[in-house]
Structure 1
Amino acid sequence: MTALDPAGVSLAGTAPQDFTTVEVDPITLRVIGGALNSIAKEMAQILYRMAYSSLIRESEDLGAGIFDSNGRELCESDSTPMHCGSIPAYIRGINRKLAGTYQPGDVILHNHPYHGAAHSPDYGIMIPIFHGDRHIGFAGCTGHVSDIGGNFPGLCMDVVDVWAEGKLMDSAKIYDAGVRNDALIQHILDNVRTPEQNAGDLEALIACARLGEKRFTDLLDRYGVDVVLSAADRWMDYSEDMLRRKIREIPEGEYEAPVSYLDDDGKNRGVPLKVAVKVKVADGDITVDLTGSNDQVPTAFNVPFEGSVLPTVASAVRTLLLDEALTEEFVPQNDGCFRPAKAYAPEGSLFNPDFPASCFARFSQINRIFDSINLALADVLPHRAVAGSSAALCAIAYSGLAPDGQSYWVYIEINEGSYGARNGKDGLDCVDTLMANTRNNPIEELELNHGMLAERYELRDEPPAPGQYRGGIGSVRKWKMLTDTFIGSEADNRTDPPKGLAGGHNGLPGAFTRNQGTNREEPLYSKVTQEMCAAGDTLEIKLPSGGGYGDPFRRQAAVVLEDVLDDFVSVSDARQHYGVVIDEATMTVDEEATSQRRAQQLAG
């Protein structure tokens, strides 16, 4: 990648000049805005309903939307922010090779992480949209497929470079002017371990983009190119203006997050990786500077800058400042929300690796960026920031040779962590956090199709992080393997636990344990490459619990009692951490003893 402007790089594209700007009345503006949102949502529904792999079909690990010819986002689906936010970079990646060659009927497949892709398992399908003989834009979508070949099934950690990750497709036309390239598609499927799943996912991605193409073309036919694109411009400018207004409410300056550390790189054990985040606020822009973060590593644990870092920064800024629960006005998600969000990471660092370093496993790192941006701004956004979240997406691939001996079964699972508390609300329990936004996979789906049995899936036993508002509780899942099974993981246990805020306590780290509770109990690292779990072995996965917010002794006594009755905290915990004394005979709050206990704490 070329050197980056130290002032930061923005995700926004350049406005195309191939239409005439016209005035659009407010009613038509609203109608077109609603149509754009509906198109993106319908595209996503087609994709997850048609997909074969559980990661797209059940977890909804996907993104979809409509984009102009330069990659500016006009609308996006309500799915994973990483997938949606990276599609403009995919388009810039394919434009560098194909701009000027597009024809009606083209379908482009792309997954190159050094040319815009979020990471190589995220197949991107782009279909150029034409109105008459004019190339107007793209219908685009992405989804995480089960396997792309490479060294190991499903997920890879300890690999030498980007080619070892799997099959790279750099702006490949799988349809050229409507003619399907069957030989190329077959070549792609012949080089993966899950050809049937990948074939189904590929067709679902194509159908998703084709629907977007049709719906947007219908919109252009109805209102005209100039009106639709002028309305889209108005919506993008409006979103930008609304976000910049919020940014200008923050005092200008530099805000630094507490330095945090990722467990390791999946190979060099016991060597934590530094994450340093500084947020600079100036003139309506927010720039996230990652200088001081770890150098790139010799495994897959690096992060594509354009396809992963930039969307994370944009999503964090939008989420913090235009929280829908705290914002009365409707603000659509589009290119306007990207414009004020900028990022800088030195070349050769964890967050801007030099080609051809592998950057397959990048999600725990970008979640940590998001978490750190939030913590850096906590003092100036006390009613919007949350305490530290799990910020460690736990993706695990289970795999083995299929009964036919000709392919593999591969199952990729995303486990749920939790949010930190915020001023006024407890943290959310057992939910994907920050950049993920994926759903949990039903255990029945896995048990039906693979040799695994769920022995446990629930909230962790340990109490949540104390605070006036308690931290969220992570999940614990325990699988029993009914057949020899390989596992690969790109998780992070958060050896430095999620931070508490304003007097709240820190959260809890996660853990992987093989054969927990037996004489063969063995802790595993959070990142593993083709670890074997033999038939009869169990694997327990605990996800981090989020931090608390505010002084625990200010938590309402009645709410603490509810936590006790819900088995979240014990009677002893209530007394020690919250100063709430509970009469165990009646299971009620002893008001007098509680007042005395809390008064002693405040006096001490």
Structure 2
Amino acid sequence: MRKVDIFTLEIIQNSLTAIADEMFAAIIKTAMSPIIYEVLDMGTGITDAHGEIASSGSGAPGFIAVLDKAVKRILAQHAQPGDIEPGDVFITNDPHSGGGVTHLNDVILAMPVFANGKLIGWTANIAHWNDVGGTVPGSLSTNATDIFQEGLRLTCVKLISKGKPIRSVMQILRANTRLPDFMEGDLWAGIAAVRGGATRIIELANKYGTDLFLEAVADFMSLGEKVSLRALDDAPRGRFSAEEPQDDGQLLRVTVEITDAGMIVDLRDNPAQSAGPHNLSRDGTVVAAQMAFKAVTDPRAATNGGTFRPLTVLTNPGTMFDARSPAAEGFYFENLIRAHDLILRCLAPHLSDRLPAGNFASICGTFISGVHPDTGRAFTLVEPEIGGWGAENGRDGNSAVYSGMHGETYNCPAEICEARYGLYVDRMSLNDEPGGHGQYRGGRGVHVEYRVRADKTLLTCGYTRSKVPPWGLEGGADGSLNYIEVVRKSGECERYSMVSALPLNRDDVIRIRTASGGGYGNPAARTRAAVVDDVRNGYLNADLAKEIYGVSV
């Protein structure tokens, strides 16, 4: 194999990044649902012909890490000659047999890319669809006991053959959602993105030659591995273990071993898979470990299949981190973030120069559905919430940002929420509940209040860290908690962290509070000026400033 000159290599690598970003832009400009075009709960990427990530676009890192696994599953299930042809598009979402990794709402579209008759890569995207059937609007039920109750399962199905949509598959999709117009709009946005990306890759391969293009991709993979190993050079060697009690009383455990050859994450000693919807597939656990590995090594460097070659993940089939069919996985995301956070907690005391204290560590999935009183149209609000991140040595934690799984995503603006959903947004502010104090304070969570505008509205939510707060580091205080309060029109107040299809009526208020991150260092070491700024900026109220820091403002 001849060596690719560095200039051509850089051009091809950067071109792939630009193509993935163009795919991302195509989706957000054409999708129907705010969860996609406002929140950006989606991701785009390009893989090589074997399904290894070659370039990742913008969006949720935890989603982008799914795409390679889905493409590999498609390749395995369509291995006969003629199964995969130019112009085809595949659709999948099943975490047990379709490479979906997450839950049924997260739908993946993947398109093979051929140049000169040879398969040279895949374009792919994943996005959260508002509704894919199941027992409740939004398809997520905290009461689900198997995946059949959570909606339509798609296992690497061919959606478009040689450029032409397969009508029967399209009909099945429309018939299995409560929001067919939104589904169809989001579907075609994803199709447009993979088609556009494929066209750009073919242009790139034709410009530089297919062989040179493939050599450049392979070289980029090797570089990813070298960057990861180099970042581990000065990490401590040894075996580190941690365990943490959870909101439901279970104890989670992890052992991480760092060697000259890489990192081994062992999650085998954990509880059996749940009878409810809080399970995680093995591929999902690998995603969580990959995210933690990236944080420990070089979070700013480009990511590709080679990046994770030094990582080994050990799981035990039938456990919550390696659930087997027909386990329900609607609220998989809380176990995903539990695994990610547990690995970071295990390593943070040994890598405090790289890792912060604990963050709010929950997707805080909030789902509100009903009929819009102005239009008579059914709606489903799907909203992961923002919260506080942990402090680190020399720096306060970030306030009101998404979890590490989400990356470059945003909360839905109040104006969009009120226009599209049957709700008023009465409040959006930082959460000033006590927690996360330290020499450097944890970032603040948020306090959001939705006022219901119509009877027969339903609330579903799935929050963790509602009892066990984010952890402090080096003497910093633990953070606060994630939870929802429903304030009835009568004034009665109810508190929830997990609930399914809770009936709400007009003028009931849904009050969301997300946690502050953990603090870093002894609170007594925080400067007076920093405390005064906290009060002025709404991070802390004056009473707490005096009680915790002894500062009058």
Task: Give the structure-1-normalised TM-score.
Answer: 0.87
Amino acid aligned to 1:228: F
> Which residue of the partner structure matches residue 114 of structure 1?
96
Structure 1 residue 408 displacement after superposition: 3.4
Residue pairs, 1:275-354, within 5 angstroms: 275-306=252-283, 308-324=284-300, 331-354=301-324
Structure 1 residue 52 corresponds to structure 2 residue 36: no
> Which residue of the partner structure matches residue 332 of structure 2?
362
Structure 1 residue 403 displacement after superposition: 7.7
Residue pairs, 1:508-587, within 5 angstroms: 508-515=480-487, 519-524=491-496, 526-578=497-549, 580-582=550-552
CA distance in 2: counterparts of 1:111 and 1:581, whole angstroms: 53
Structure 1 residue 566 displacement after superposition: 2.8
Report SS of the residue matched to 2:368. strand
> Which residue of the partner structure matches residue 273 of structure 1?
250
Report SS of the residue matched to 1:396. strand
Q: Please list every run of at least 4 consecutive aligned residues from structure 1 whose deviation after the TM superposition is greater than 6 angstroms.
A: 402-407
Structure 1 residue 436 displacement after superposition: 1.8
Report SS of the residue matched to 1:378. helix
Structure 1 residue 345 displacement after superposition: 1.9
CA distance in 1: counterparts of 2:538 and 2:421, whole angstroms: 33
CA distance in 2: counterparts of 1:424 and 1:86, whole angstroms: 34
CA distance in 2: counterparts of 1:457 and 1:518, whole angstroms: 23
Task: Tell me, yes or no, if the aligned pair for 1:418 and 1:429 is still in contact at 8 Å.
Answer: yes
Residue pairs, 1:136-535, within 5 angstroms: 136-154=120-138, 155-261=140-246, 263-264=247-248, 272-306=249-283, 308-324=284-300, 331-401=301-371, 408-437=378-407, 438-484=409-455, 485-515=457-487, 519-524=491-496, 526-535=497-506
Amino acid aligned to 1:165: E
> Which residue of the partner structure matches residue 14 of structure 2?
34
Structure 1 residue 571 displacement after superposition: 4.7
CA distance in 2: counterparts of 1:323 and 1:409, whole angstroms: 37
Report SS of the residue matched to 2:32. coil
Structure 1 residue 66 corresponds to structure 2 residue 46: yes
Task: Tell me, yes or no, if the aligned pair for 1:384 and 1:423 is still in contact at 8 Å.
Answer: no
CA distance in 2: counterparts of 1:559 and 1:528, whole angstroms: 39
CA distance in 2: counterparts of 1:404 and 1:251, whole angstroms: 60
CA distance in 1: counterparts of 2:3 and 2:208, whole angstroms: 13
CA distance in 2: counterparts of 1:403 and 1:556, whole angstroms: 51
Structure 1 residue 557 displacement after superposition: 2.4
Amino acid aligned to 1:62: M
CA distance in 2: counterparts of 1:523 and 1:63, whole angstroms: 33
CA distance in 2: counterparts of 1:250 and 1:435, whole angstroms: 23
Task: Tell me, yes or no, if the aligned pair for 1:259 and 1:277 is still in contact at 8 Å.
Answer: no
Report SS of the residue matched to 1:89. helix
Task: Give the structure-2-normalised TM-score.
Answer: 0.95
Change (3 A) 1:159 1:556: same
Deviations 1:417-451 (A, max 9, x none): 11010111101111112112221001111211222
Structure 1 residue 407 displacement after superposition: 7.4
Structure 1 residue 405 displacement after superposition: 11
Report SS of the residue matched to 2:379. strand
Amino acid aligned to 2:186: D
Change (3 A) 1:410 1:31: same
Task: Tell me, yes or no, if the aligned pair for 2:487 and 2:510 is still in contact at 8 Å.
Answer: yes
CA distance in 1: counterparts of 2:24 and 2:244, whole angstroms: 37
Task: Tell me, yes or no, if the aligned pair for 2:228 and 2:308 is still in contact at 8 Å.
Answer: no
Structure 1 residue 85 corresponds to structure 2 residue 65: yes
Structure 1 residue 165 displacement after superposition: 1.0
CA distance in 1: counterparts of 2:538 and 2:432, whole angstroms: 9
CA distance in 2: counterparts of 1:570 and 1:150, whole angstroms: 44
CA distance in 1: counterparts of 2:546 and 2:373, whole angstroms: 56
Structure 1 residue 103 corresponds to structure 2 residue 85: yes
CA distance in 1: counterparts of 2:342 and 2:211, whole angstroms: 42
> Which residue of the partner structure matches residue 596 of structure 1?
none
Report SS of the residue matched to 2:154. coil
Deviations 1:95-149 (A, max 9, x none): 1211242111111111111131122111111111111211112111111100000
Change (3 A) 1:516 1:380: farther
Amino acid aligned to 2:479: G
Q: Which moved more, 1:279-288 or 1:132-141?
A: 279-288
- What RMSD over aligned residues (CA atoms) do the two structures have, in Å? 1.9
Deviations 1:451-480 (A, max 9, x none): 211111110122452111101111111111
CA distance in 2: counterparts of 1:80 and 1:567, whole angstroms: 29
Amino acid aligned to 1:318: K
Report SS of the residue matched to 1:248. coil
